[in-house]
Amino acid sequence: GEDVEQSLFLSVREGDSSVINCTYTDSSSTYLYWYKQEPGAGLQLLTYIFSNMDMKQDQRLTVLLNKKDKHLSLRIADTQTGDSAIYFCAERTPGNTGKLIFGQGTTLQVKP
């Protein structure tokens, strides 16, 4: 079945790089996404990657996709305290439901 897994917690020092990992099971997923959720707020779309791409870079964010291993990662360069949040990866299921399957979320703690 469909499943997306993430580690629950990551702690880094300000200025370091953060790497958040995600694995998914549905090899027919077409798009994969990264969302950020700050306390008391909704989910903010950070970036996405199409399944035929290996990498996508957007300013401080780098997404790597290993389709063979069904592994997705989000690298945040020069992590700032404002990056502290919960990060969700999500895959879009094929078909017309438009349903996103979310991971449990990774809490990123950035220490000054």
Among 50, 66, 81, 109, binds other proteins (CB under 8 A): 50
Instruction: Return d(Cα 101, Cα 24) in angstroms, integer.
Output: 9
Cβ contacts of 107 within 8 Å, gap of 6 or more: 8, 9, 10, 85, 86
Q: How many residues bind other proteins (CB under 8 A)?
A: 22
Q: Determine contact, residues 99/2, Cβ cutoff 8 Å.
A: no
Query: And the tokens for 16?
Result: 């370091």
* Residue 98 binds to other proteins (criterion: CB under 8 A): yes
Residue closer to other proteins by CB (options 39, 112) is 39
Is residue 56 close enough to count as binding other proteins by CB under 8 A? no
> Binding residue for other proteins (CB under 8 A) from 11, 25, 44, 80?
44
Please pick, from the candidates 39, 42, 82, 112, the single residue that binds other proteins as defined by CB under 8 A.
Answer: 42
